[in-house]
Structures are given as structure tokens and as C-alpha cells.
Amino acid sequence: MKKFYLSILAIALVGISKTNAQLGPNLLGAKGTFSAPFVTPNNGAASCTNSGDHSYAPVDNIGNKLESLNSPEPGTPKSGYNYVATSGGLNPEYTYTIIKNIGDGNGGNCIKPEWRAQDHTGNGGWFMAVNGAPSNNPSYSRIFYRMEDITVCPGTEYQFASWLINILPANHPAAQPGSEPEVSFVIKTDKGGIDTIARSGKLAYHNIPEWVEVTGNYTVPSDVTTVTLEVVNSTTVALGNDLGLDDISFRVLKSSIGLSGDLGTMCAESSAVVDFTVNDATETNSWYKWQVSVDGGVNFTDSTAPAQATFSNGSYTLTLTVTNLQESMNGRIYRLVAGTSAASFGNPNCSEYVQDFAVKVTVCGPTPVDLMNFNGRYNNGQVSLDWQTAQEVNSDKFEIYKSNDGQNFSVIGSVISAGYSGSVKNYSFNDATPGSSKYVYYKLKQIDLDGKFIFTSVVRVATDGMKASMTAYPNPFSTHFTASFSANKTADAKMTLRNAMGQPVMVRTLKVIQGNNTIDIANLPALTSGVYYATIQNDDIHYHIKLQKQ
């Protein structure tokens, strides 16, 4: 018997370790990266700071100030330091500015001539330059930067990160051991909790200052929905306590779901049983839902409503069964999504564990009936099906199945087979009532004398009057595809299949009839996954289509 097998391919498996975890979008956005549209040029800054005459004084060099700590403005970065934009403005302690270039190999900006630094990303954006005051002086605030009212999800883990730079060169007299700037990063919750989630350590002096990244993880308590992030001065000295801040981020951590169970090959008409195991030491991601995509992952729809599972020793396992496997299911993707609550799904501020797998049905194994091709054509309100066999052993008959959606098939007729044959045999069947759907789908059920049976691949026939264009089904394809197109006359046509480099990998002659043609392109050569281009042409037609090989 001919067999069809299912391979379930994990296509979004991510390691459970935090080092391999995916990160969501930066919840601080431009307000944490000191970029437009949040930061705009300060047109009132001293002319020497942004004259455009030097690389360290470019036009629009100084950005607008942050809000003060006592400002009631919600969701806006604030600072406990004094903003400056004048010549020599950063000479006093307890001051800051928002700047693109404060100094480079050509010299220093008039706002603080001895400092050297440009924005971390190097794209002409701004960063925050600070002259730190002693952290143990009660007259000064310790807060360089504060972001309030960050909406978070209870039980979700986030990663904080920031880039820091010691902007005083090592050859400066004030660059003395023990004076290096040092920064702490603090989270405050709406319930009064306070946690230090990262420390920079002492930022070393360098003759050419260097940006360094500081990161830390934070898991939101179960009763917390908003937090405040603070960047805090931890250096007790004044001299040499000079630094820059840039690209401050707060992102949700997205980990993975383990895939296990029946992941081997399976015959068509059987079921795939797959286990998904959610591993979560905090046991907070107990909510889940199933989704499915029928367009190769472009769009997903919920196949179940959100539900809640029960953890056991930090994990739980869910089983998904896919029944009645068919080749027409190629490209279908099933997905499990897990989160902290039903409301967390689709919320970029919340963690989601996601695992996908794609369905792929292929032909394999020997068969006593060697089916060479299976084609369908529509003409004058009727579909004509024809197929050929190269050999037959123990064959009884072919049953013809029809569907209007490619999923739900019913038998519409049968054709007696040769039984035993070593030569080419031709068969045909006409469907006089194909219906009004744009496409109609057909497959054959080949039945042996002993009652055993198999199904062929599916042929899709266009019934709505094809225009001068070609379609292919399925696309992406695995072992074959059907090409559907129209022709003005009956004649042979040359079909060429080329790889992504334009090199021919198959050339074949097709029998084309006047009207609509649906021809099964089977018995393909060994092809690697990727993009291919099919061309069908003669003196009447010239069609070209892009295909994806799974």
C-alpha cells in the first residue's frame, strides 16, 4: 500500500534558559533611548553647544530636559538633577544635559570641555550626561532617571538593561581610584515594595571612554500591576563622578514550551498526538489557549477559549490530537500560548510562552499500485478527472472523493481497476455537477482486493472561469503540486522548474487542452527546501509562478 506520513516540525523552539529567552518590546520606548519623538532639539541652548562648526558641537546637539521629580506628569521620565544647556553648564555637581556629542578626538563641547562621549547607538541620537554629586549628601537627590507608572503583568519576568559610560578620560587629573561613578537600578512597586535589580559596579576610566551594558531580571509580585524604575547614584565622592546613560530598556522575557510525545512519522487517515510541557519555576503561567493557522503562520485564530491548568512541581503538560491527517493540511500550524492570565494574551507588556509546530504530509514506502499522475480539468460546467498507473498488483477499484473546502470529502463514484498489470493503464471520471464554489477538490481512494486502501494526493480544480493566470496548490508544496491555468488551444507545452538561482532542476512536456487545465506535477526530483519558479509555455501561453518547497 502507498502510505502518507506526517512530520511535525518544531519551528519556534526557544531554550528555557534566560540566556536564550526572547525579549518583548521596550516598554520605555523612546523615553528610555533618549530619541525622537520624545526628545526634541533645544533651540534655546547656548550657540557654542550646537554651532555645527565642530564634530563635538553638531546642529541640534542639545535635547530638551526631563521633568522634575515633583512633576505630576504621568508616564514621563523625570530626574532629580538640574538640567543645563549653557557653556560650562555641567561644571557644577548635581547637573545633567541631554546631548548627542559631548567630546571626541577633535575636542570637547563647551558645556564640559574635558568630557568625551557620543550616544551609544552611534546613529546621531541623544544620551544623558551627568555630573554626579556625592550620594551620601542629603542635599542632593540620588536619582538620575525615573520612569513611573510602567504597566506590568503579575507574575511575569522582565529584563532590565542600560548602557553606561565613564565620560572622564583616564588621563584627566580627576580620574583617581575610588572616584569612579557607580550606579544602582531600583524597582518600586505600587504596593510599596523596593528591589535593587542591578548594579553597575565602579565604571573604570579609559583614555577613550567605553560604553558598558548592565542588565538584571525582575519578577513582578502576584499583586502588582505598575512599577517605577529608578537609576540611582551610588558613589559617595564628587570628583570624577561623571557618567552617561543611554538605551535604558525594560522588556518582558518570553521563554519556551517543551515539545514531546508522538513526533515521528504517521500515516494519513491517522492521528497525531503531541504533548506540550510548560516549565515555570514560579508556577504563574497557568493560563493557556490553542491557536491554528491555515496560511503558513501569517495569521492565527483561537481554536479554544483561554483556560487554566494546574502546575505540578513547576510544570504541566497539555496534549493536542490532530485527527484525519491529509496532505491538504500541509502548511497548517498549531500553536500553544501560555501566560499569567486570560488578559495577558496579546498584551505586549505580558509574558507569553509560545510553541508552534507545522504539519507536513509526505509520500513514502513501496506500493503495489504505482500511480503516475492525477489531473483534473473544468470545461462547460463539468470536471474531467484522469489518472494513470504504471503497474497494479491486487488492485480492486478507485473511489472518487470530492470536497468544496479541501477538508471534508465525500465519495461521488468509483472506477474498477485492472487488478494486475505491468503496463500503463489510463482511467477517467466525469463530475457533471461540480457545484458553484470557486474551487472543487478531488482525491482517489485506491482499494485492494483484500480491502486495504490508501488515499492519493488532492487535486484542486478551478470552476469559476479562469483568467490568463496560473495558480498552484498546495503552495508551499512537499512532494507534488497541481498547476491550474487556461489555454486557447490543445497543444503540448514545456514546463520548466528553476531554483532560486534560476538554474533548471526539471523540464517536462505537458499535454494541454483548450480551456481550463489542472495538471498534477508529481514525481519531482529531489529538491531542497526553499523558493522555486515554475514556467509553462508554448506559442499560445506563457505562465510563471513562485513556489515554496517545504
What's the pLDDT score for residue 263?
47
Instruction: Please report the pLDDT score of residue 168 as a whole number.
Output: 95
Q: Which of 2, 1, 11, 498 lies closest to 300, judged by CA? A: 11
Task: Give which of 97, 101, 113 is closest to 52, Cα–Cα.
Answer: 101
C-alpha cell belonging to residue 401: 472523493
Tell me how far apart the alpha carbons of residues 370 and 384 are, in angstroms, rounded to a whole number: 21
Does residue 507 surpass a pLDDT of 60? yes
Under the banding of pLDDT at 50, 70 and 90, the label for residue 247 is: very high
pLDDT of residue 58: 96
SS3 category, 327: helix
Name the 3-class secondary structure at 249.
strand
- Mean pLDDT of the region 283-304: 82
The pLDDT value recorded for residue 360 is 58
For position 9, what pLDDT does the model report? 30
Closest among 55, 57, 112 to 243, alpha carbons compared: 112
State the Cα–Cα distance between residues 484 and 376, nearest whole angstrom. Answer: 9
Q: 179 with 266: CB under 8 angstroms?
A: no
- 329 SS3 class: helix
Q: In whole angstroms, what is the distance from residue 457 CA to residue 443 CA? A: 6
Spell out the domains of the chain, with CATH numbers in brackets: 3-19+256-364 (2.60.40), 22-253 (2.60.120.260), 384-459 (2.60.40.10), 466-550 (2.60.40.10)
Higher-confidence position of 400 and 455: 400
Look at 33-37, 153-157, 218-222, 429-433 and tell me which has the smallest mean pLDDT: 153-157
- Position 188 scores a pLDDT of 94
Q: Dihedral angle at the C-alpha atoms of 205, 207, 211, 217, nearest 10 degrees?
A: -20
Stretch 370-399: mean pLDDT: 80
Across the range 158-162, mean pLDDT stands at 90
How far is residue 107 from each of residues 58, 103, 397, measured CA to CA in Å? 13, 6, 89
Backbone angles phi, psi at 327, to 5 degrees: -65, -25
Distance CA 487, CA 34 (A): 61
Percent of the chain whose predicted confidence (pLDDT) is above 70: 85
Query: Are the beta carbons of 193 and 227 closer than 8 angstroms?
Result: no
Burial of 192 (0-12, 13-18, 19+ CB in 10 A): exposed
Q: What is the pLDDT of residue 1?
A: 31
- Give the pLDDT band of residue 522 (cuts 50, 70, 90): confident
Q: Which of 195-204, 369-378, 419-428, 538-547 has the lowest mean pLDDT?
A: 369-378
Q: How far apart are CA 313 and CA 488, in angstroms?
A: 68
pLDDT of res. 269: 58
**Best-predicted range by mean pLDDT (235-244, 341-350, 387-396, 531-540):** 235-244
The pLDDT score that the predictor gives to residue 41 is: 96
State in Å, rounded, how far the first CA of the chain is from the last one. 24
Question: Whole-model pTM?
Answer: 0.54
pLDDT value, residue 122: 82
Please list the alpha-helical segments (H only) found in 94-163: none
Where residue 169 falls among pLDDT bands split at 50, 70, 90? very high
By mean pLDDT, which of 99-113, 142-156, 463-477 is the weakest?
A: 463-477
The answer for residues whose C-beta is within 8 angstroms of residue 265's C-beta and 6 or more apart is 5, 6, 7, 364
Most confident of 1-15, 36-50, 275-289, 477-491: 36-50
pLDDT at 15: 23
pLDDT for the residue 14: 22
Q: Is 89 exposed, middle or buried (0-12, 13-18, 19+ CB in 10 A)?
A: buried
Share of the chain above pLDDT 90, in %: 32
pLDDT (mean) for 460-480: 75
Does residue 256 have a pLDDT over 60? Answer: no
Burial class (CB in 10 A: 0-12, 13-18, 19+), 264: exposed
Calculate the average pLDDT of the chain.
82
- pLDDT top residue among 152 and 16: 152
Q: State the Cα angle at 131 between 75 and 250, rounded to 5°.
A: 30
Q: Report the pLDDT value the prediction gives residue 6, as an integer from 0 to 100.
A: 29
Of 176, 215, 129, 157, the C-alpha closest to 16 is: 157
- Min mean pLDDT across 41-55, 189-203, 206-220, 362-376 is at 362-376
Q: What is the pLDDT of residue 48?
A: 97
Mean pLDDT, residues 58-69 taken together: 96
359 in Cβ contact with 408 (< 8 Å)? no
- The mean pLDDT value for 533-542 works out to 82
Nearest Cα residue to 207 out of 243, 171, 244, 165? 171
Q: What is the DSSP string of 409-440?
A: -EEEEEEE--SSBSS-EEEEEEES---SSSEE
Q: How far apart are CA 80 and CA 59, in angstroms?
A: 27
Cell of 268: 494519513
Which has more pLDDT, 423 or 414? 414
pLDDT given at position 99: 97
- What pLDDT is recorded for position 467? 52
Mean per-residue pLDDT for 416-431?
84
In this predicted model, what pLDDT tens digit does every residue of 108-157 receive, in sequence order?
999 999 999 999 988 788 999 999 999 888 889 999 999 998 988 887 88
Alpha-carbon span 438 to 484, nearest angstrom:
13
Q: Tell me what the mean pLDDT of segment 265-280 comes to.
A: 69
pLDDT at 262: 44
pLDDT for position 214: 93
pLDDT at residue 295 greater than cutoff 90: no
With CA atoms as reference, report the closest residue to 272 among 326, 232, 235, 309: 326
Lowest mean pLDDT among 4-18, 148-162, 385-399: 4-18
Find all residues with CB under 8 Å of 249, minimum gap 6, and list them: 26, 27, 28, 32, 33, 159, 160, 161, 162
Residues 61-80, mean pLDDT to the nearest whole number: 93
What does the pLDDT look like over 428-457, one tens digit per residue? 999 988 887 778 888 888 888 777 777 777
- H or E element that contains 33: helix 30-33
pLDDT at 248: 94
Say which residue the cell 464554489 belongs to: 437
> pLDDT value at position 465?
55
Judge whether residue 365 has pLDDT over 60: no
